[in-house]
Structure 1
């Protein structure tokens, strides 16, 4: 008489225990996987900034000066905004085709017909891999404009231009690598028929390495920021949780108090907002391509620009990496600067000739 052996299956309790164990393992492993992915993205971010620093060094080797703080004067003056330093750096990032697509005789204003094709281009070296958003600013260009996470340092000042006018920085000791003066005199054309543009007209006076008396290892060149998510420049697109939309202030940014943001910006209760921060890397408005050391990394309050010129900005370096921001220095190094850095030290790292003494253990 044959005997049939019965196979014993899992009980419901045993099955639930196995599922629970698998769930616990997944819960333990998932943060580790996410952490590894973020570490890889952060390493790529560092590499992007290193490539930008190398490009700036190659530019200096070619011209014996660093990248100018603003592009050449557009002789076709229907549009007047100039090219940004980031756009001028393109040929040294192996992006000569992208650079050549811009028409330098015309301004780089939003919606300028001569620049539309070029303005659509996204340069991967200017995008932090930890920024997973792909929204493009499309108010003036249906295809969306080229965006960026990396910004040029305006030093320990909100102002692009040095000088004594109300929207300029009078204290040159606060200036960084991309603050600038313009040449004066002459005319836009060398001939009466206006067929020969004068490339020296209102040209930017660039910074030389010899002017960085604080030391290239103690002077910031580029850092990163969070960019706006606005697409159509509407009030509904203001993100109150992240201070990445720039508020504007009618208060003066000039004189001895210019180093601190006006109180009305800090309150977040001002009039006009600039919703396209980091949404047009090629345009020389400071909200689109620059940051300042006047406010600390990952500043907890609003970025702030002046009204009505928009040529000054207390714009923070911000990042998608926990605890701080990556900064490229003039010596080619890239360092992670913690949010806890003291404001005087951060400001000292912004100026190129402020005379401050900064030790490595202070950041």
Structure 2
């Protein structure tokens, strides 16, 4: 009898213990507190993760610009001069800033010359050399979009020329494609005119959609406006200009004080279309229009499309002629950026900037 009572006591103890276990748990208030804490931690961590990712992309961008600068130096070591800025005639008729009516020459830029130094020798070998030769008369050259072999090569996508931070992707099908960026003297001879040929994405080139053209997030620095046969402006010509053959020793302002390549982009910002650019025809970008935060000649809508800019918050990356790469604030002194740092021999040397 005593054993039976003990057994019942044990069973009762187990039942009570199980009941106590079942009754334990989180209240609704406790769950809400936990959820709130988790949400707060996520809100604190997410920006840090995004910043870390952007820092990694920025480092990749810097490395790409360094590789581009190195390719230009290897070209100079091989041929005795840096890659030519663009193939076009000198004084051109003044036309619409977009249509570039009357421009002669192939309008190719420095990147086709640099293909072998991007490990793209096979692509380089398919290009009609007369099209990119700066010593060939412009009258014997045709716009590269009209020459079959050069046009075909232009559809090659070169990862080294795309900034990993580019948003949206430069190959976004909603963007137009610039097929030529050219500076030339206006008919008055007193000002620079910047020309871009915009090819609508709906059009085709050689049977392929224009939107499939290889793009670039980078362009050579032309200085104020390149070399346009206007002495007051040509004083500030950069490394890359019309049929240029600039040598490193020509950079008398010092390679540490001279911009070589910078970032460009194509997307929608402030309801203005930033057209992305085909690497075959991305020649040299002038500094006369300033940066995104500092617009010059803002009276013309088209001029706002063509400036050095990037997807990195508050800055754009530039490679200098000494091979270094550094970020420049879009709010920095524009006189320093547009003149002192973009010209190769204006004797306007700056100290700290």
Same topology, TM > 0.5 = yes
1:303 offset after TM fit, Å? 8.2
Cα separation, partners in 2 of 1:36 and 1:303, compared to 1, 3 Å: farther
User: 1:227-270: CA deviations, max 9, x gaps?
Assistant: 2x4xxxxxxxxx4616553xxxxxxxxxxxxxxxxxxxxxxxxx
> Which blocks of at least 5 consecutive residues in structure 1 are unaligned?
74-78, 181-203, 230-238, 246-276
- Choose which of 264, 283, 294 in structure 1 pairs with 2:288: 294
After superposition, give the CA deviation of every residue in 1:290-336 in whole Å (9 maximum; x if it has no partner): 322223332454888999xx9x9993210111121111011111111
Change in Cα spacing, 1:314 to 1:220, as seen in structure 2 (3 Å) is farther
Aligned to 1:35: 51
Question: Is residue 285–residue 308 contact of structure 2 (8 Å, CA) maintained in 1?
Answer: yes
1:103 counterpart residue number: 128
Q: 2:182 — aligned with what?
A: none
User: What are the residue-to-residue correspondences of 1:116-155 with 2, within 5 Å?
Assistant: 116-132=151-167, 133=169, 134-136=171-173, 137=177, 138=201, 139-141=203-205, 142-143=208-209, 144-155=212-223
Query: In structure 1, which of residues 42, 49, 52 is the aligned counterpart of residue 65 of structure 2?
Result: 49
Checking the alignment, whether the CA contact within 8 Å between 1:291 and 1:313 is kept in structure 2 is no
Aligned length: 279
User: What is the root-mean-square deviation of aligned Cα atoms in Å?
Assistant: 2.9
Correspondence for 2:107: 82
Residue 260 of structure 2 aligns with which residue?
A: 221
Q: 1:206 aligns with which of 245, 265, 274?
A: 245
1:151-180 CA distance string (max 9 Å, x none)? 1101022xx44325xxxx664311000123
**Runs of 5+ consecutive residues of structure 2 not aligned to the other structure:** 1-7, 90-103, 132-141, 178-200
Q: TM-score, normalised by structure 1?
A: 0.69
- The CA deviation string for residues 53-111 of structure 1, in whole angstroms up to 9 with x for no partner, is 111111111112111122599xxxxx942321122111112121222232234545336
Distance 1:326 1:177 in 2: 17
Q: Structure 1 runs of 4+ off > 6 angstroms? A: 302-307
Kindly indicate whether residue 218 of structure 2 is the aligned counterpart of residue 179 of structure 1.
no
Is the aligned partner of 1:63 residue 2:79? yes
1:340 Cα deviation after fit: 2.4
Match of 2:340 among 312, 330, 348: 348
Contact 2:88 2:106 in 1 (8 A): no
- Residue 51 of structure 1 and its aligned partner are, at CA, apart by 0.3
Bigger Rg, which one: 2
Distance 2:236 2:248 in 1: 16
TM-score (norm 2): 0.71
More helix by percentage: 2
TM-superposed CA distance for 1:218, in Å, is: 0.5
Q: d(CA) in 1 for partners of 2:235 and 2:38?
A: 60
Instruction: Write 1 or 2 for the structure with the bigger share of strand.
Output: 2
